[in-house]
Chain A
Amino acid sequence: VQLLESGGGLVRPGGSLRLSCAASRFPFSSYAMSWVRQAPGKGLEWVSTIGGDGDTTYYANSVKGRFTISRDNSQNTLNLQMNSLRAEDTAVYYCALCSVTSPYYFDYWGQGTLVTVSS
Chain B
Amino acid sequence: SYVLTQPPPVSVAPGHTAKITCGGNNIGGNSVHWYQQRPGQAPVLVVYDDTYRPSGIPERFSGSNSGNTAILTISRVEAGDEADYYCQVWDSTSDHPGVFGGGTKLTVL
Contact = CB atoms under 8 A, between A and B. Distances in A.
Given A44-B37, A46-B98, A102-B90, 7 more contacts: A36-B98, A43-B102, A59-B96, A105-B48, A105-B49, A105-B90, A112-B42
B64 interface: no
A44 B100 contact: yes
Q: How large is the interface on A (under 10, 10 to 19, 20 to 34, 35 or more residues)?
A: 20 to 34
A34 B103 contact: no
A112 B42 CA distance: 7
Contacts of A108: 45
5 contacts: A34-B98, A44-B100, A58-B95, A58-B96, A59-B96
Interface string B71-96: 00000000000001010111110011
A104 interface: yes
A67 interface: no
Contacts of A59: 96
A103 to B, nearest CB: 4
B3 interface: no
Contacts of A58: 95-98
B106 to A, nearest CB: 14
A15 to B, nearest CB: 25
Of all A-B residue pairs in the complex, the 10 with the closest CB atoms, nearest first, are: A46-B98, A103-B90, A105-B33, A43-B103, A109-B42, A44-B100, A104-B90, A105-B48, A61-B96, A43-B102
B10 interface: no
Nearest to B37: A44
B42 A103 contact: no
Interface string A54-68: 000011110000000
Contact of B43 (A60, A104, A109): A109
